[in-house]
């Protein structure tokens, strides 16, 4: 499936986020990460099997719906967010299968221009016209930074939907810089670029994530169906951390003052490298 050529000025907020390039795309709205095991290895194995299997499925309604049942019989159906549908038709796209994409999309070679997305949970119209909350809730500068610093689809899809986390991070950087944030100012320096990537990658490898967390997946819709619990600071001997909003979005838990101090120092160190 080739990249859909969508201009930035054709989408809300002025920055296109869905199918960015051959390596960067997002399947979060399709419930990609709403699975029992949301690790890269597990999701990649899942998507590879689906893509291989779907390539031999006849393109008619019965066969496509049978594929859905086969996927659901084969894969665990326990979900971190039970009310958030996970689409069985999300797979790998591109000549090198280097990004996530829709197996029902008309631009997939095997579909020969036919749009089968009407067979998905949300239907074809939703797939064509829906834009996630990030399009409306994140500044153009922040979107551009995330889009340009992403290394692969997995990390990109996890972090681009985290609007509260991203707004908190970039507001802190802007405060430290004492000037308006620009994408060029963060991306032109290689050391700064690496620091931004490490800072955003905390979403995936945060060492202080609460034990009861379901992992890096998040529910990013505005209906507040699921919310993240507040941090209990009692064991850390603090009323609240100066990074409370950021730590909250990272689903943090601290068993001691030293743990909280280490978390704050980690964030401090990365932000200091960004603003050099």
Neighbours of 184 (CB within 10 A): 11
Share of the chain above pLDDT 70, in %: 98
**Per-residue model confidence (pLDDT) at position 99:** 96
Neighbours of 187 (CB within 10 A): 15
Rg (alpha carbons) of the chain, rounded to whole number: 20
Count of residues in the chain: 276
Of 275 and 61, which is predicted with more confidence? 61
**Per-residue model confidence (pLDDT) at position 232:** 86
Measured CA angle at 22 (ends 16, 27), to 5 deg: 60
The mean pLDDT value of the chain amounts to 91
Query: Alpha helices of 130-256 — where are they, by DSSP H?
Result: 134-137, 140-149, 153-160, 163-177, 183-187, 190-200, 202-205, 244-249
**Per-residue model confidence (pLDDT) at position 5:** 56
Query: Residues 165-185: pLDDT tens digits?
Result: 999 999 999 999 898 888 888
- Which 8-state DSSP code applies to residue 8? G
Query: Residues 98-129: pLDDT tens digits?
Result: 999 999 999 998 999 999 999 998 888 877 78
**Per-residue model confidence (pLDDT) at position 189:** 81
For 149, counting Cβ atoms within 10 Å of its Cβ (0-12 exposed, 13-18 middle, 19+ buried), the class is buried
CA distance 23 to 45: 17
For the segment 28-33, the average pLDDT, to the nearest whole number, is: 96
Q: 65 near 196, Cβ under 8 Å?
A: no
For the segment 183-189, the average pLDDT, to the nearest whole number, is: 83
Q: 233 near 239, Cβ under 8 Å?
A: yes
Phi (first) and psi of residue 145, to 5 degrees = -65, -45
Count of alpha carbons within 13 Å of 132, Cβ hemisphere only?
Answer: 23
* Secondary structure (3-state) at 118: helix
pLDDT at 237 over 80: no
CA distance 18 to 160: 10
Query: Residues 59-99: pLDDT tens digits?
Result: 999 999 999 999 999 999 999 999 999 999 999 999 899 99
**Per-residue model confidence (pLDDT) at position 236:** 73
Tokens coding 202: 């905390």
CA distance 77 to 85: 11
Q: 101 near 29, Cβ under 8 Å?
A: no
**Per-residue model confidence (pLDDT) at position 9:** 83
């Amino acid at each position: 499936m080739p990249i859909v050529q969508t201009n930035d000025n054709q989408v809300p907020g002025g920055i296109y986020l869905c199918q960015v390039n051959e390596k960067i795309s997002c399947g979060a709205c399709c419930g990609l990460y709403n699975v029992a095991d949301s690790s890269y290895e597990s999701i990649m194995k899942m998507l590879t099997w689906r893509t291989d299997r779907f390539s031999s499925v006849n393109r008619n309604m019965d066969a496509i719906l049978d594929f859905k049942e086969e996927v659901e019989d084969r894969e665990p159906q326990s979900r971190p967010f039970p009310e958030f549908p996970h689409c069985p038709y999300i797979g790998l796209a591109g000549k090198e299968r280097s990004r996530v994409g829709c197996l029902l999309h008309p631009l997939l070679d095997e579909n020969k221009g036919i749009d089968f997305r009407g067979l998905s949970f949300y239907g074809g119209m939703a797939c064509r016209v829906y834009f996630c909350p990030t399009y409306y809730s994140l500044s153009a500068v922040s979107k551009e930074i995330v889009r340009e610093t992403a290394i692969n689809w997995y990390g990109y899809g996890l972090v681009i939907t985290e609007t509260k986390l991203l707004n908190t991070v970039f507001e802190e950087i802007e405060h430290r810089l004492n000037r308006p944030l620009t994408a060029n100012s963060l991306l032109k320096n290689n050391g700064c670029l690496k620091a931004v990537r490490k800072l955003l990658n905390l979403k995936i490898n945060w060492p202080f994530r609460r034990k009861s967390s379901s992992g890096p997946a998040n529910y990013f819709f505005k209906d507040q169906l699921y919310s993240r619990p507040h941090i209990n600071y009692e064991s850390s001997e603090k009323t609240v951390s100066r990074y409370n909003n950021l730590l909250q979005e990272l689903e943090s838990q601290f068993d001691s003052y030293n743990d909280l101090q280490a978390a704050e120092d980690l964030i401090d160190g990365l932000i200091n490298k960004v603003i050099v």
